[in-house]
Amino acid sequence: MTLSKLNLELRTIITQYQQSFSDKSYGEENNEDDLLMNIFNITPELKRENRQYWGRELGMCWQLLVTKLCELTCNNFRPALRIEADEPTDLFIGNDAIDTKYRIGSGDSGTLKKFKKYGRLLKDKGYSPTILILREDNLHAAVTACKAGGWNVYSGDVMFDYLKKRTGFDLKIYLTQMSGKSSISRN
């Protein structure tokens, strides 16, 4: 290969990425809160200081709340399914294999492949793969990948309706009533 051909091929790649980066739209900073943030008085500004930390911690809080709610109210509750080192579900209610998410924001190929893989696996085992997402500002590509993998995806009010129908408890009202009652202190 000649130097000019190599230069042209490398330049083509760079130009493609230049166009891709130029076309990327960056939305406004997310200034929306949610029911969990409100309970602890976590502001969007505080959350932006360490998105990964807050996303992980609020996600675990959400998972534990939903799991405990279902454990205490559903006679057909079963705990998470473990496959090797992973848990494709957080709990079961009857035939629904449920994974809880605070928000789906990752569109990396490994995450998307895992959603598809586990959705198919759960369907093959006769379950109805179900994802319950608290927030509604989810990455569209990730939600599409979940649906393509056979997952039923519920977020926001539709998700709260799903939980209320199965548990008899209105978690949205409860979380709303808890707003500001467990404020965090910053040292």
pLDDT tens digits, 129-174 = 999 999 988 778 788 888 988 999 999 999 999 999 999 999 999 9
Residue 186 confidence class, pLDDT cut points 50, 70, 90 = low
Give the residue among 148, 88, 153, 87 at the shortest CA–CA distance from 116.
148
Burial of 120 (0-12, 13-18, 19+ CB in 10 A): middle
Phi-psi label, residue 146: left if phi above 0, alpha if psi -120 to 50, beta otherwise: alpha
**What was the pLDDT predicted at 19?**
61
Contacts of 69 (CB under 8 A, 6+ apart): 163, 167, 169, 171
**d(Cα 56, Cα 83) in Å, to the nearest integer?**
21
**What was the pLDDT predicted at 48?**
86
**What was the pLDDT predicted at 20?**
53
Backbone angles phi, psi at 22, to 5 degrees: -70, -35
Q: For residue 26, is pLDDT > 50?
A: no
- Mean pLDDT for the stretch of residues 28-43: 81
Q: For residue 24, is pLDDT > 50?
A: no
66-170 belongs to CATH 3.40.1350.10: yes
Q: For residue 27, is pLDDT > 60?
A: no
For the chain, give every domain's residue range.
Answer: 66-170
